[in-house]
Structure 1
Amino acid sequence: MFRATRHTAVAAACSGALLLAACGGDSTVDDAVDGAGGGPEPTRLSAGYVSAIDQIGLPAGVEAGYFDEQNLNVTLKEPYPTGVDALNALQAGEVDVVQVGTPAIAAAQKGIDLVLVGNYTGSSSQRSIDETMAVVTGGDSGVDGEDLTSLRGKRIGVSEGSINHLYLLGLLEEAGLKAGDVEIVNTAPPDMAVALETGGIDAGIVWDPWPITMTEQVDGAKEVLRGGGYIPFVGYSVTTRAYAEKNPDVVERYLTARAQTDQWMRENPDDAADSATRWLPGTEQNVAQEAMEHNIKQLDPRFSACNYLALDTLAGLLAEQGNVEEGFDVNQYFQPKPILKVMQDNPDLFADLPPVPDAAAIDGGYVFERDAAAEACPS
């Protein structure tokens, strides 16, 4: 059941051009009620997310009141266009927590002292998951999702260094092709529909909701491949090491609220999609509902050896392409103790998820070893 709260009423009033001003940047609906119940003042925390369906758990949790239950007053920054922008805001001290995937690797190597404290998407029970990724082609592109060798010689739109770039590399590896066998066209997700329509690319590879909107906007466009387990999708709750060390209780409460939100979204995908239309400007209800059905398959906030393996795998792929330096040590950046405490104290929040394999379970002192993790995590 959707949890009707004062947040719902505020968010429902937001629409169109007013959305970012009323529901996005530097906004919180709790400012007028701090301490109203006579208890301790809520802890203030600022958080940022990227404008994507798989990141909607953060604003949806604020809207539904889960952060209130943890006595957190969360201020949301307006949606960032990319994970790089979100990390820049974290480094500048504009936010305390952001949701970021693969851009965290390059950011860490460039000196941002960040730590990964939980997942917003991915899997702690298996090696690879990529249900929110898809390949969309024009009607006469010649790309066949059942014959990946058909990618040879094609112009493929991806965002270089991002997860969709890595998905392409996973497809090429499966087909026995190399990156040089295709023409990679660096394309931002919002530009892919135009690029496909004008012939700038033969296919676009991207995350939801863009595959869905592309098929709606471009005559003859079709989704030829979805998911398939070609790569491990990653998306982390990220903060600075200094913030995590200074505020362990706040981080734990934040992750508890996110776990509550994720479970609610898994159980109520239509309501979660409805929330997405309010927090992601221009997202249509039918698009949000279709995208959410894929998104909920990857809503697993837990940590296990499989999450370390996922990041190590993607860091290796990026290094092979020269997008990041070799030798990225995932052990330096995972800080699992807060989410492990949430998992221990609130097993009911994860009861509907596949169990973490015994061999992949970790403790606060876990040290990643790739061979052991690969053996522990099923493909």
Structure 2
Amino acid sequence: MSRVKRHLAVVACSGIVPLLAGCSGGSTVDDNVAGEGGAKAPTKVSAGYVSAIDQLGLPAGVEAGYFDDQDLNVKLADPFPTGVDALNALQAGQVDFVQVGTPAIAAAQKGIDLVLVGSYTGSASRLSIDDTMAVVASGKSGIDGKDLTTLRGKRIGVSEGSINHLYLLGLLKKTGLKTSDVKIVNTEPPDMAVALKSGGIDAAIVWDPFPITIAQQVDGAKEVLRGGGHIPFVGYIVTTPKYAAEHPDVVHRFLTARATADQWMRQNPDKAADAATRWLPGTKKAVAVEAMKHNVKQLDPRFSACNYLALDTVARLLAAQGNVKAGLDVNKYFRPGPILKVMAGNAKLFQDLPETPASAKIEDGYTFERAAAEKACPS
């Protein structure tokens, strides 16, 4: 199927039912098995993602035809509620690829067979990047983003064990506060607006688009802090070791399509925001436009020593809070060969990204050593 046909078919569907659940149905737009003139059919691939703005590259890439360009017929699962659900589907063989962040750490420790073959969010040029994170405080809280000591004694809503919890830890560390200096209230992102409005929390720390929607929904609430480079933000394209070993060419083509979609989003954030309204249930255009301004800063599919360092850092932070076991060996889970091949053969897809420090560049077979990576990667 040509790129134009795929795009028009998806748009036609979204015109009838504006939510992804109405369009995907667990299938691609075109499930034909024979190509034109009896040509060999595209390779069928199944993939899944979580309904989040930073995971848009997968469905947007399908819509734009970038997977078609790589001779891949990608079947999208309906969006998963969480990364845990996505990983369970991968383990069960329901999908070939998923996009997952911090839940991959606990899953790996529990024995789920997985490898990381690329990134959907993060940075290969530095350690800490968190532009999609923000603190939204109630008007009565007295929290000042320019003076984080004002967090002392406040009730902070985060999802314990998730990236927003780690962002709070990063803020406290920079300010010199301890976790005991604040009251952590375990709150799921969809519940944060109600908790802030009712006074159950004084501030919500969460990822886009929730900071934007919470500020709109709660009178007097405002975003008091955005990003700041307090923590690494990690998000990986994940498959199984078996699939990666048996289908190296498919992995390469899949990552090429994803890198193409990422560059398109970086260069066309407003158009990407428009796509978000079709693929992320309930997303409004104005919210997507604002969120995409921050999201595109983290669309870096490359691998370097900085990505290994980011995962190791996040794992250590989670272990310190008792959310995962200590001692994760990140070398066991990275498979850099496929994305390094994409980087070498498609340099134009990455030319608009910040240059990776020379000492942070890696080759296939790289072994992570924390001390060396810390020297190589700007914080």
| C-alpha distance in structure 1 between counterparts of 2:4 and 2:193, whole Å | 37
Equivalent in the alignment of 1:343: 343
Measure the CA separation in 1 of the matches of 2:45 and 2:190.
30
Q: Distance in 2 between matches of 1:24 and 1:178?
A: 45
Q: Deviations over 1:263-312 (max 9, x none)?
A: 11111111100000000111110100010010000110000000000000
How many pairs were matched up? 377
Measure the CA separation in 2 of the matches of 1:249 and 1:23: 29
Q: 1:37 deviation in Å?
A: 5.7
For residues 67 and 4 of structure 1, the distance between their equivalents in structure 2, rounded to whole angstroms, comes to 9
Instruction: Quote how far apart the aligned CAs of 1:36 are.
Output: 2.6
What's 1:54 paired with?
A: 54
Name the % identity: 72
Alignment match, 2:364: 364
**Residue 137, structure 1, aligned to residue 137, structure 2:** yes
For residues 93 and 186 of structure 1, the distance between their equivalents in structure 2, rounded to whole angstroms, comes to 32
* CA–CA distance in structure 2, aligned partners of residues 287 and 171 of structure 1: 25
Q: Which residue of 1 is the match for residue 218 of structure 2?
A: 218
- Give the conservation status (yes or no) of the 8 Å contact 2:129–2:233: yes
| Aligned counterparts, 1:172-191, within 5 A | 172-191=172-191
CA distance in 2, matches of 1:47, 1:267: 24
* 1:41 shift after superposition: 1.3
Q: How does 1:16-31 map to 2 (within 5 A)?
A: 19-31=19-31
- In structure 2, do the counterparts of structure 1 residues 48 and 25 end up closer, same or farther at CA, with 3 Å as the change threshold? farther
Aligned residue number for residue 43 of structure 2? 43
Q: Which amino acid aligns with 1:255?
A: L
CA contact (8 A) 1:16 1:282 kept: no
Q: Offset at 1:34?
A: 4.2
Q: Distance in 2 between the 1:229 and 1:275 partners?
A: 28
* CA displacement at 1:38 relative to structure 2: 4.2
Residue in 2 aligned with 1:9?
Answer: 8
Q: CA deviation at 1:63?
A: 0.1
Give the distance between the partners of 1:101 and 1:81, measured in 2 at CA.
13
- Secondary structure (helix, strand or coil) at the match of 2:74 reads strand
**Counterparts of 1:279-318 in structure 2 under 5 Å?**
279-318=279-318
List 4+ stretches of structure 1 deviating above 3 A.
15-18
Write the distance in 2 (CA, Å) between the matches of 1:312 and 1:246. Answer: 28
Q: Is the 8 A contact 2:156 2:185 kept in 1?
A: yes
For 2:209 and 2:160, locate their aligned partners in 1 and report how far apart those are by CA, in whole Å.
18
C-alpha separation between the residues in 2 aligned to 1:261 and 1:286? 21
Relative to structure 1, the CA distance from residue 258 to residue 37 in structure 2 (aligned partners, 3 Å threshold; closer, same or farther) is farther
- 1:200 is aligned to 200
Residue 113 of structure 1: how far off its partner (Å)? 1.2
Closer, same or farther: CA 18–375 of 1 in aligned 2, 3 Å? same
2:378 aligned residue: 378
Q: RMSD of aligned C-alpha atoms? A: 1.4
Aligned twin of 2:68: 68
| Cα deviation code 1:32-51 (max 9, x no counterpart) | 36423643211111111111
Deviation at 1:15, TM superposition (A): 5.4
Equivalents in 1 of 2:4, 2:161: separation in Å? Answer: 39
Higher mean C-alpha displacement, 82-91 vs 217-226: 82-91
Query: How far apart are 1:318 and its partner, in Å?
Result: 0.2
Deviation digits for residues 320-350 of structure 1 (CA, Å, limit 9, x no counterpart):
0000000001000000000000000100100
Moved more, 230-239 or 183-192: 183-192
Distance 1:15 1:153 in 2: 49
Which stretch shows the higher mean deviation, 303-312 or 195-204? 195-204
SS in structure 2 at match of 1:378: coil
Letter in 2 for 1:22: G
Q: Displacement, 1:21?
A: 3.7
In structure 1, C-alpha distance between the alignment counterparts of 2:128 and 2:306, rounded to whole Å: 9
Provide Cα deviations, 1:13-60, integer angstroms capped at 9, x if missing partner.
315866234323412012136423643211111111111110000000
Q: Which moved more, 1:73-82 or 1:361-370?
A: 73-82
- Gap change, CA 1:362 and 1:220, over 3 Å in 2: same
Tell me which amino acid in the other structure corresponds to 1:321.
Answer: Q
Letter matched to residue 119 of structure 1: S
Alignment-derived partner of residue 111 in structure 1? 111
Return the offset for 1:10: 2.6
Cα distance between partner residues in 2 of 1:18 and 1:181: 45
Deviations 1:131-189 (A, max 9, x none): 00000011111211111111111111111111111111100111111222211111111
* Cα distance change on mapping 1:34 and 1:139 into 2, 3 Å: farther
Tell me which amino acid in the other structure corresponds to 1:12.
V
Where 2:224 maps in the other structure, the secondary structure is strand
For the residues of structure 1 that align with 2:297 and 2:168, how far apart are their CA atoms?
21
Aligned: 1:148 with 2:148: yes
3-state DSSP class of the match of 1:31? Answer: coil
Task: Please give the residue correspondences for 1:86-105 in structure 2 after superposition, counting only pairs within 5 Å.
Answer: 86-105=86-105
Give the distance between the partners of 2:24 and 2:153, measured in 1 at CA. 42
TM-score, normalised to structure 2, is 0.97
Give the aligned residue type for 1:365.
G
- The two structures have a TM-score, normalised by structure 1, of 0.97
Q: Which residue of 1 aligns with 2:258?
A: 258
Equivalent residue of 1:32, what SS? coil
